[in-house]
């Protein structure tokens, strides 16, 4: 493919960011884009106009426009599971139809959200009562993967929009640590559990749910009352929810086309809505929908998800940068990098093309991150002076702490300090020693070599007008669509997750073996020996 080979040739000539900025005073303005209250500066990426033009040409070669349309209109883009990936339908405005296989998906979505809203209002208003007649004070979301990471991330990020005293907690760890700590302080009379599981068969989730049920029955031994007043189920399988004992009035339904890591927009977001209210939850959906429209309609040269995806492919595939870090300079986004590790690596951590051929180029990089202020005192040392090239995303809101929010005079200044650190770090990563004032550079210093910063670490900066439900929705959708763009150019399916499923199957086999009194002999010698050691020590 000519364009692919052209990009490989361009990648062999390193781009010196310091020199490019010196040669072009408008670079910082030109290599930027704005949409949905998000300003994206990608001028510190290792690209130039020729590279960008070739990347857009590559997108056209892979018919990206049509692939975007296929995603949004309900074509079976998840070809290995023969279904659509309609997370964009989950945030369609009410009344906007989307017919897929003869069914109005938009109507289904809003029927489900309307039922969700009824439950949310009952909980938040105090109408929902526990077995003793007391109002619910604590809601515990039991899930794992997308049923945990998305709701946890969003509920934390939007904590300032919480207008209820009801506390929302999240449990995902299968070893029981999180749940045990909660049950020691919660009141069974006023605690409601949400069991979120697409299949309603995930052993991690159901083991925690079983423990929660046992805890409640120890306080009140009338099981039908406990199940009716203290459990809500969210799944694609109403039959399994009913078998478990969840009343049909307390069941919220999903569809097979809702991928776990894209499910927070659906009734899986119940815990978010309980915390911030249904109006704010709908604003979250509206922000994501606004980004969907931008993704579908904007020219590629100013299309935020397309640009992020193209740059991601350029870095990982052509420049061979195998690590990417996400650095939000806002404590409310503490779980955002963790959320993105699943979104990106579970989606694009693939080595087989859609056609069945093996991939012979780099795909998804290792992704991690942390709040910027913490990361500065942890792994920024590697970013500035390590041997690895790492691409970075800096994320920060422009506004923070308005007059009504300022508890003391220093909070506004703290936000200014956070902004300064965000911008300063991207400067040093891009330009190295050249970004420093001359007073900081002393060539006669005996330790000067140890204080050199090579620069040329590529980064993108995302400025949010402020962090609110709508801008958070747009930010999350931006990354979702970035992942899809990358998958199109890599020719892989980002919606299946066979690598996750195989571990679950093997875990069930090993779990059964742990109950056996005999020495294991059905696995490899390492696993068999480990099982023998565990059995011996456990007695």
Alpha carbons 395 and 53: distance in angstroms, whole number: 26
449 counts as catalytic: no
Active site residue 377: yes
The catalytic residue among 346, 350, 415, 480 is: 346
Q: Are 366 and 325 in contact (CB under 8 A)?
A: no
Describe the strand order of the beta sheet including 366-369 as a list of residue ranges.
32-35, 38-41, 459-464, 391-397, 323-328, 366-369
Residue of 222, 223, 451, 504 marked catalytic: 504
Q: Which pair of tokens denotes residue 32? A: 């930027």
Residues 6+ apart with CB under 8 A from 228: 247, 250
Catalytic residue among 5, 184, 377, 518: 377
Beta bridge partners of 325: 368, 392
Structure tokens of 205?
């989730």
- The partner residues of 140 in beta bridges, in order of sequence, read 169, 193
Burial of 390-422, coded b for 16+ CB within 10 Å and e otherwise, reads bbbbbbbbeebbeeeeeeeeeeeeebeebbebb
Q: Which two tokens stand for residue 385?
A: 């002076």
Tokens (6 digits) for 429: 């990563």
Q: Which of 20, 11, 107 is nearest to 430 (CA)?
A: 20
Active site residue 504: yes
Q: How many whole angstroms separate alpha carbon 334 and alpha carbon 326?
A: 11
Of 469, 478, 474, the residue nearest 154 (C-alpha): 469
User: Is 486:348 a contact under the CB 8 Å cutoff?
Assistant: yes
How many other C-beta atoms are found inside a 10 Å radius of the C-beta of residue 131? 17
Burial of 241 by CB count in 10 Å (0-12 exposed, 13-18 middle, 19+ buried)?
Answer: buried
Q: Are the C-beta atoms of residues 118 and 232 closer than 8 Å to each other?
A: no
Provide the 10 A C-beta neighbour count for residue 453.
17
Q: What is the DSSP letter of 505?
A: H
Tell me the Cα Rg of the chain.
25
How far apart CA 80 and CA 301 sit, in angstroms, is 31
Catalytic residues: 346, 377, 504
């Amino acid at each position: 493919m000519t364009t692919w080979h052209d990009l490989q040739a361009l990648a062999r000539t390193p781009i010196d960011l310091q020199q490019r900025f010196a040669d072009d005073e408008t670079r910082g303005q030109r290599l930027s884009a704005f949409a949905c209250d998000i300003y994206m500066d990608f001028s510190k990426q290792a690209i130039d106009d020729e590279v960008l033009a070739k990347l857009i040409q590559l997108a056209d070669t892979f018919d990206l426009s049509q692939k975007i349309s296929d995603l949004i209109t309900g074509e079976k883009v998840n070809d290995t599971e023969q279904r659509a990936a309609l997370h964009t339908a989950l945030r369609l405005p009410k009344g906007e139809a989307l017919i897929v296989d003869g069914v109005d998906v938009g109507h289904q979505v809003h029927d489900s959200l309307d039922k969700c809203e009824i439950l949310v209002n009952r909980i938040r208003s105090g109408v929902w009562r526990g077995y003793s007649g007391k109002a619910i004070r604590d809601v515990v979301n039991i899930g794992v993967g997308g049923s945990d990471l998305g709701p946890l991330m969003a509920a934390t990020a939007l904590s300032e929009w919480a207008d209820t005293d009801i506390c929302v907690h999240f449990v995902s760890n299968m070893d029981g640590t999180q749940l045990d700590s909660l049950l020691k302080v919660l009141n069974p009379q006023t605690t409601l559990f949400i069991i979120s599981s697409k299949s309603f068969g995930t052993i991690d989730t159901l083991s925690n749910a079983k423990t929660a049920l046992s805890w409640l029955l120890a306080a009140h031994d009338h099981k039908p009352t406990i199940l009716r007043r203290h459990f809500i189920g969210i799944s694609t399988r109403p039959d399994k929810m009913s078998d478990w004992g969840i009343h049909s009035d307390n069941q919220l339904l999903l569809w097979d086309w809702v991928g776990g890591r894209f499910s927070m927009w659906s009734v899986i977001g119940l815990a978010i809505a309980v915390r911030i209210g249904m109006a704010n939850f709908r604003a979250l959906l509206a922000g994501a929908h606004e980004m969907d429209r931008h993704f579908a309609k904007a020219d590629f040269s100013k299309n935020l998800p397309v640009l992020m995806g193209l740059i991601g492919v350029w870095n990982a595939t052509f420049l061979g940068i195998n690590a990417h870090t996400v650095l939000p300079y806002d404590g409310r986004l503490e779980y955002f990098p963790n959320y993105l590790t699943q979104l990106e690596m579970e989606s694009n951590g693939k080595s087989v093309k859609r056609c069945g051929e093996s991939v012979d180029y780099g795909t998804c990089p290792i992704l991690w991150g942390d709040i910027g202020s913490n990361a500065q005192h942890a792994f920024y040392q590697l970013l500035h002076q390590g041997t690895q090239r790492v691409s970075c995303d800096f994320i920060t809101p422009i506004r923070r702490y308005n007059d009504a929010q300022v508890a003391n005079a220093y909070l506004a200044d703290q936000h200014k300090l956070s902004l300064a650190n965000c911008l300063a770090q991207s400067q040093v990563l891009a330009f190295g020693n050249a970004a420093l004032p001359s007073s900081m550079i002393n060539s006669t210093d005996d330790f000067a070599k140890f204080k050199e910063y090579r620069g040329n670490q590529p980064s993108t900066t995302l400025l949010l007008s402020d962090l609110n439900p709508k801008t958070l929705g747009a930010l999350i959708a931006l990354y979702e669509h970035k992942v899809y763009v990358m998958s199109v150019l890599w020719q892989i399916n980002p919606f299946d997750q066979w690598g996750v499923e195989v571990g679950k199957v093997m875990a069930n086999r090993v779990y059964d073996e742990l109950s056996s009194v005999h020495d294991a002999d059905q696995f490899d010698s390492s696993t068999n020996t480990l099982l023998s050691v565990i059995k011996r020590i456990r007695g």
